[in-house]
Chains A and B, each alone.
Chain A
Amino acid sequence: MPRRLILLALLVLVTTGAASGKHLYGQYCAHCHDTQSAPDLHGVGALAADFYLRTGYMPLPHLGVQPRRARVTLSDEQIRALVAYAASLGNGPAIPTPHPERGSLSAGQHLFTDHCSGCHQVVAEGGYVTGAVPPQLGDDTPTQIAEAVRIGPYVMPSFTRKAISDAQLDSIIRYVEYARHPDDRGGWSIGHVGPVPEGLVTWFIAAAALVAVCMSVGRRLRA
């Protein structure tokens, strides 16, 4: 008798889970995704739903803006229910499970330079493209990177397995994780943003120091 009760309770839980996914969809997503103002979600699969919800890209604050990484307001349970519901809408791809530890760092750097660094910069610091802001990849989990590569969120190109295989994707993720804490052979990284801040440092610190030295030498000569 108690075992039956537990089974019944489970069944109720599961059905209310799926039902709650649909309920949540109606609450958070439907007013855009059920109209023409946002992409239709049939067939996008668990992959896209998981990416957009766990990065805080969705729900959007308002239509027409670029989705940006934001604080996730939905609970883990709600996200799981929504992902399950999105997956049930069509025959879409499942959430990927990348293995960056299997990838090669040097191959990853090569691939990242080929496919990603045009927009995200060579150490994944993010950058600009006209009309959009390629984000920096400091906070992305391996799964989110793998998802983004396959979806191509907002104006990012999407890459099929033919363009970037799963093994290559592992290498890319390994490189992105490495690029967060690279060996700074030069010493001071200055944010890894490239030659502009390095030049500024030269001008404002080194040039000032040089002038100070010159002035002190000149004063000593005059005395």
Chain B
Amino acid sequence: MTGRWAAALITLYPRAWRERYGDELTELVAAMAGDHPSRYGRLRLAADLVRGAYDAHLQHSRSDMNPALRRGIIDGLAISAVLATVLVLSNVVFPAGPTESDNDPEYLVQIFGAYLVIAALLALIGARARRRWDSEKAGVLAGAAAGLVMALALLVASLVIDNAWLSIVSQQHDKKVAFEASGWTSMRAYLNVRTLLGALVVVPFATFVGGFLGAVGGRFWKPPQDSAAPVSWSKA
């Protein structure tokens, strides 16, 4: 039983990593699972394995890629996964009523709040990169990469949602009004073209804003003056 879920989670690790450490890790998980027979204990082991897989991908990413850029891409992907989930929930699972518009005050506040959170995350990504690599450029690069990845991921998510759940999406008030005013005859074609044309502006804009916010975050959260002395384990 342990072998099955552990083996499944270990496949999350990069192949090269698995070839080197996979057998040992499997053996260790089996031994530790014997010490943690409870469901909570197994969950903790599983969570640690997933986090370890994430770190292994970071470690084994292409070594010739700028580390700040790589970090920005990975952070951008992580945030995109959350945003894509929110998009599916708000457009497909719990869609707004046929008379509700994004311009309603209730939704405007939610959308504004979401933008604020995203801006704060981009600044945080830049600040962390600046702090870690002690370079202003690292903050800009990480923020820009995260912004670019998020814009591209949301573009893909929007296309998937609009095409896979067109019957639900086409009932949205704003889309119906815009489609009727457009003179187009195909809702699917209209939504896809509008999304792709919007991406031409949104993708470069998100990259620029990401870089800008990364730089701002780096300015506010500079590296410590002396980070060489290991005053605590966490600095090792």
Q: A and B from one assembly? A: no
Q: Point out residues on A near B: beta carbons under 8 Å.
A: none
